[in-house]
Amino acid sequence: MSSRLYSEVSQILHQAKCKKASLKTLIYASNYQNSRQLFAMVNECVKYQELLEQVLVSCPKDFTEDEEISGDKDLALVYLYEYLVGRKFGRNVGLRKLLLKYKQGIKSAVDGVLSKVNARSLSEAVRGSRSNAQKIPRYMRVNLLKSSVQTVIEDLKEEGWDYIGKLSTDSFKDSALALSEGQFGLDPFLHDVLVFAVNTDLHVHPLTVSGVLVQQDRASCVPAHVLAAPEGSVVLDCCAAPGNKTTHLASLMGDKGQVIALDRDQKRLSTLTEMVARSGATSVNPIHQDFLTVQPGSEDAKGIQMVLVDPSCSGSGMRQQIGDGDTDDALRKRLQTLKRFQISILKHALRFPDVQRVVYSTCSVHTEENEEVVTEVMAHVSEYFQFESVFPQWTGSRGLVGFPDSPCFLRLKPETDLTQGFFVACFQRVKRKQNPEAEDQNSNSGDANSLGDEKHCVSGSSERENVPNSDSVDESSGKRKRKHTDRSMNSSTGSDLVESSSENNSPQGKKRKKNEGIGVFEVAVDVEQSKSLVSGDQNIEDTSAAKNSELEDINKAKSKKKKRKKERKEEEFNEENEVVLSNSIEKEEDASCEKSEKRKKKKKKRKEENEELNEAGNNDLREGESAHSEKREKVKPFSKGTRCEKDANSVPCDPKSDAEQSSLESEKKRKKKKKKKESKEILLEDRCGQKVDEAEVSTNHAVEANGDELKVKKKKLKKRKRDDSPSS
């Protein structure tokens, strides 16, 4: 195993000690890829934690002060577990050598702890310490999307399991703990949950691997049964991950309808997606979104009929987390923070217009997260919702004493229900929230109608099983009743007020008024007051009309101001855009002018260079022509020469010898080549390192052409000389 796994486990144990979060939350928040391996090792370390801490105290100090541990007691505890109980570090040879170095000291510490608890091994000591704790059976939920309860029971029977039937509701604890190895039964309240003997291992059973059986605690199966969503309904699971309750909802609905699963943690949502795929549910729609960002009045939310609220909690109901700790200030602050969050989630769920049923559940045993949350929320929504009793036949597991609606709540405990600590409450709609126009119409109706509505809400709450009487409900909603009666009084006529006053002033009227819950608000109107009210109706109507006209004028003025502001903003925006455009255009024009000027300068430079080169070429041509003319003057083919006196018919003598003439010719050729070379170098020279201009190339061609002409002329001169020379 990698050293990173041990460090992750030590960090989770440390954070759990500091009560920053539950073990389950810390494990899912970890970045370690193999979450199953991490969960298994954390669970085992927690199981042996008490004994290992005693061993660590007796270990030599050099062990905890080693460089690999550096005084981290939680990391040392994890190393001790892996060395004494686990896989001896697997292929990690370095950590194995570290523990072998302190082998003698660790062995003596372990022997001392085992002698105290009178056990032969750590595992035996753990079994002895946990034997006094409450044993919990193994619960397996049947996935109704892949099979039926009866089919699973028959399959298990064929494998050799002993089915003892449905367990008793009155003696569930005794009958469940009496199950021996190889026996199982059916839960008396949850029709799709099978109960097996304690420590029954079904992780690798074919039915579990195939997804037919799902290992899930009995308490965790309760919320879906309480919600009781019928087939074809739209259900919202607002805090869905890791997905046990979500897939349970789809199973009970027969995969007919829609289950919207929201979670704001992408990693937890991926775990939910895997679980949904394994269950075979197609009606589940996982969405990565925070529930508090959902708009209840949107088109997508209008069809939602039922909501399951299972928010983040302290996790104190888990067996490893149950403890006192109420005096810890850090825990109190954390519970208050969680309470505010849970209240906001529950209130938001009750704002959906079409919702009929909302179930709230936590795996916590703290009152701050359970009774206090639902009671505070009900004080805000008592006009439209009421508590519905959760499994009223589940006696002995009701809410805490001191809350009027505790008989409606279900609070499960390991000691009585053989489950983890759990809390469930159910909100049922009794009155649909109306739009403002409908409320005005109802408010304009008489006192009898308004009081009749109040009687209907109270009677609806009193008809429930194990629900407090109507007095407590009336006290919680007294303010709303007063407002309702105020509206009805203002809208009624004077005669009605006279009649109501006479009835209310009579002893029977006062008695009835007190029974109807008006109590705090007594109506006492004299005849003269009623006449003044009748005469003042018209004044009230006039003043109301005047107020309406004033409001209309104010609204018109506000709308005009808004329009003016918009127009001003648009004008300012347009002006700014025009300024920006003009500036950009000016910049572009300046840039184009600069570019054109640069181009002109470059052209001028090129022209000057070309002119210089042309002048140099012309000078060279002139020099060449002058040289050629001199040659022509020197070499005159018709010079007579001097004849010899001895022989008159002899060839005229050349004043110069043949050797001198050949030397002259070679010298001339050398000079020509030199001049050509110099002219080429001048023409091909470029100061900027660029290509030679077209003008330079043309001058070069001209020089070469002149050279060719000279050659032709020379050849003609030679030929003429040969022709004119006298025959020998």
Cis check for the bond before 468: say yes or no (omega within 30 of 0): no
Q: Residue 290, annotated ligand binder? A: yes
45, 313, 363, 426: which one is catalytic? 363
Q: Residue 242, annotated ligand binder? A: yes
Burial per residue of 602-627, b for 16 or more beta-carbon CB atoms within 10 angstroms, e otherwise: eeeeeeebbeebbebbeebbeebeee
**Strands, E assignment, 549-666:** none
Q: Residue 474, annotated ligand binder? A: no
| One-letter-per-residue 3-state SS of 316-370 | CCCCCCCCCCCCCHHHHHHHHHHHHHHHHHHHHHCCCCCCCEEEEEECCCCHHHC
Q: Residue 206, annotated ligand binder? A: no
Interatomic CA distance for residues 358 and 229, integer angstroms: 11
Q: How many angstroms separate the Cα of 683 from the Cα of each of 5, 236, 312, 619, 674?
A: 81, 90, 90, 12, 14
Q: Residue 173, annotated ligand binder? A: no
Q: List the structure tokens of 723.
A: 């022709």
Interatomic CA distance for residues 4 and 2, integer angstroms: 5
Q: How many CB atoms lie within 10 A of CB 271?
A: 16
Q: Residue 310, annotated ligand binder? A: yes
Per DSSP, the residues of 80-102 read: HHHHHTS-TTTT-HHHHHHHHHT
DSSP 301: T
Q: Residue 18, annotated ligand binder? A: no
Q: CA nearest 237: which of 221, 226, 222, 224?
A: 224
φ, ψ of residue 303 to 5 degrees: the values are: -85, 0
Spatial neighbors of 364 by CB under 8 A, at least 6 apart, are: 313, 314, 315, 316, 317, 370, 421, 423
Q: How many angstroms separate the Cα of 403 from the Cα of each of 259, 367, 396, 721?
A: 33, 11, 16, 145
Residue 386 · residue 408 · CB < 8 Å: no
Residue 285 · residue 261 · CB < 8 Å: yes
Burial per residue of 573-595, b for 16 or more beta-carbon CB atoms within 10 angstroms, e otherwise: eeeeeeeeeeeeeeeeeeeeeee
Length of the chain: 728
363 is an active site residue: yes
Q: How many angstroms separate the Cα of 549 from the Cα of each of 555, 563, 586?
A: 10, 21, 55
Residue 390 · residue 200 · CB < 8 Å: no
Q: Residue 244, annotated ligand binder? A: yes
Residue 354 · residue 303 · CB < 8 Å: yes
Residue 36: Cβ-neighbour burial (10 angstroms; 0-12, 13-18, 19+): exposed
Helix-helix angle 658-683:527-634, to 10 degrees: 170
By annotation, the residues acting in catalysis are 363
Residues belonging to the binding site for S-adenosyl-L-methionine are 239-245, 263, 290, 310
Which residues are annotated binding-site positions?
A: 239-245, 263, 290, 310
